[in-house]
Amino acid sequence: MNCSRHVFTSIRTYATKSKTTNLKWKPSVPVQQTTLSDGTIFIARQPVVEPSVQANVAPLIHKPTVTKKLSEAEIKELRQLRESDPTTWTRSKLAKKFGCSELFVSIAAPKSTTTVVENEVSHGYRRKLITQERQKRKALW
């Protein structure tokens, strides 16, 4: 009788969870190794670029904003311009004119509700239908 034995070799196709360190690892950044008193090695990463050079070269992400305190007369004028013609005097235009933020303009001189009603008049029948359906749904809450 011919008895043949099959020898199967297995090949590992996955990474091990071994706790041994990779001895071929070489850092891509400069490091400083210090031997401590108990014999362990402390490795500290060094900056690639000197911090003083980096601070001078890196540009600012945001420009620093200078806040300006508006007087009551300026706030009154801002509100008057916004109410007279909100399509011409938008938040951004008023903010540039008075040197303040758009958020401040929206708080100090909010868009009047009459312009919203006027805009609804110019909508077509579909938008009116959608608005009516929304009002009916809200009434059922």
pLDDT tens column, 79-131 = 999 999 888 999 999 999 998 889 999 999 988 766 555 555 677 889 889 99
Phi and psi for 139 in degrees, rounded to 5?
-65, -30
Tokens 């508006």 found at: 70
This prediction's pTM = 0.39
Check whether 4 has a pLDDT greater than 60.
Answer: no
Whole-number percent of the chain with pLDDT over 90: 34
Percentage of the chain modeled with pLDDT above 70: 71
Q: How many CA atoms lie within 13 A of 37 on its CB side?
A: 0
pLDDT at 62: 80
